[in-house]
Amino acid sequence: MEKPELIKDGKRLDGRGPKDLRSVRIEAGVLKEAQGSALVEWGGNKVIAGVYGPRECIPKHGADPYKAKLKVRYMMTPFCSKGEHSRSGPNRRSIEISKVMREAFEPVVMTKNFPRSQIEVYVEVIQAEGGTRVASLTAAAVALADAGIPMTDMVSAIAVGKLDGQLVVDLGKDEDNYGESDVPMAITHRDKQIVLLQMDGLLTREELAQSLDDGIEGADKVYELQAEALKKSYEKEERGKLNL
């Protein structure tokens, strides 16, 4: 496919302005058997997250006597995009994303409350359209809160990138593929800690500084949606129901 014209008259491919997010819908408490769960529909992305624990650490020799072990698994389903993921199971990419997601949550989850146990976070990408890791982080944060796992802060994630020399927030698939740079980041809401920051492509120092500012702004919007989703989950009828 030819490189499309990414920005035309200040509008992006899908008609968004540079700082507009795709439509984001977050729902908490979507899985019955998981302790906490969340569904995030972010543009064309569909991500579901489930949280279990704290429970007994397996294998036992891996248990930490001082804190809970956080285990994050990010996985793309074989049907999530145009067939590039036709073989399911962990691969180099998903192992890396699992690791950076785990490291994003380690500073905020109060693991010291639960020694010798593990907290499991499973994130499954049902449909992918650029920016699945930020959608996954957003879903995982909501699922952790929904599970009642104590966290000192809420994590919200957003990607910033550069298209045709202009910084834009929340890249879609084509923007990611044909743009010049992609900077996914995860930010805690209260003290604006950067718990995840990656960069594909090239940016100047000034551009990176600017993209961090834009990212924090975007992450705040995501945070509002996360908070709303968590509050809304209490209006749902089936919430917390016993399996009768």
Partner 1 sequence: MIPGEIIWEQEMRVPNTVVVDGKTYATVLGMVREDRFIPLELVYRPKPGDNLVGVVTDVRHSGYSVDINLPHGGFISSKFTRVSFKQGDLIFGRIKFADEVGNVDITDAKRLPAGKLVDVPASKVPRIIGKKSSMLNVVRDGTGCSIFVGNNGYIWIGGKGNLQLALKTLDFIIENAHKHGLTDKVAEYLNEQGGNVTVPPREEAAPAAPAPTEERAPEPAEVSGLGAPVEETPDPAKEPITEDPAQVSEGEPVVEPPRAEAPEESDNPLMKGGSGIPEKKDKIDVDEM
Q: Which residues sit at the interface with partner 1, rule CB under 8 A?
A: 36, 53-57, 65, 108, 110, 113-118, 144-154, 188-191, 226-227, 230-231, 234, 237, 239-244
Least distance from C-beta 237 to partner 1, angstroms? 7
Least distance from C-beta 240 to partner 1, angstroms? 5
Least distance from C-beta 181 to partner 1, angstroms? 29
Rounded distance, CA 141 to CA 162, Å? 26
Least distance from C-beta 188 to partner 1, angstroms? 7
Cβ proximity to partner 1, 158 vs 183, nearer residue = 158
Least distance from C-beta 125 to partner 1, angstroms? 24
Cβ proximity to partner 1, 118 vs 136, nearer residue = 118
Cβ proximity to partner 1, 37 vs 211, nearer residue = 37
Q: State the SS3 of the chain.
A: CCCCCCEECCEECCCCCCCCCCCEEEEECCCCCCCEEEEEEECCEEEEEEEEEEEECCCHHHCCCCCCEEEEEEEECCCCCCCCCCCCCCCHHHHHHHHHHHHHHCCCECHHHCCCEEEEEEEEEEECCCCHHHHHHHHHHHHHHHHCCCECCCEEEEEEEEECCEEEECCCHHHHHHCCEEEEEEEECCCCCEEEECCEECCCHHHHHHHHHHHHHHHHHHHHHHHHHHHHCCCCCCCCCCCC
Cβ proximity to partner 1, 193 vs 198, nearer residue = 193
Least distance from C-beta 231 to partner 1, angstroms? 7
Cβ proximity to partner 1, 144 vs 196, nearer residue = 144
Least distance from C-beta 72 to partner 1, angstroms? 17
Cβ proximity to partner 1, 146 vs 182, nearer residue = 146
Cβ proximity to partner 1, 129 vs 146, nearer residue = 146
Amino acid at 211: S
Burial grade of 124 (CB within 10 A; 0-12, 13-18, 19 or more)? middle
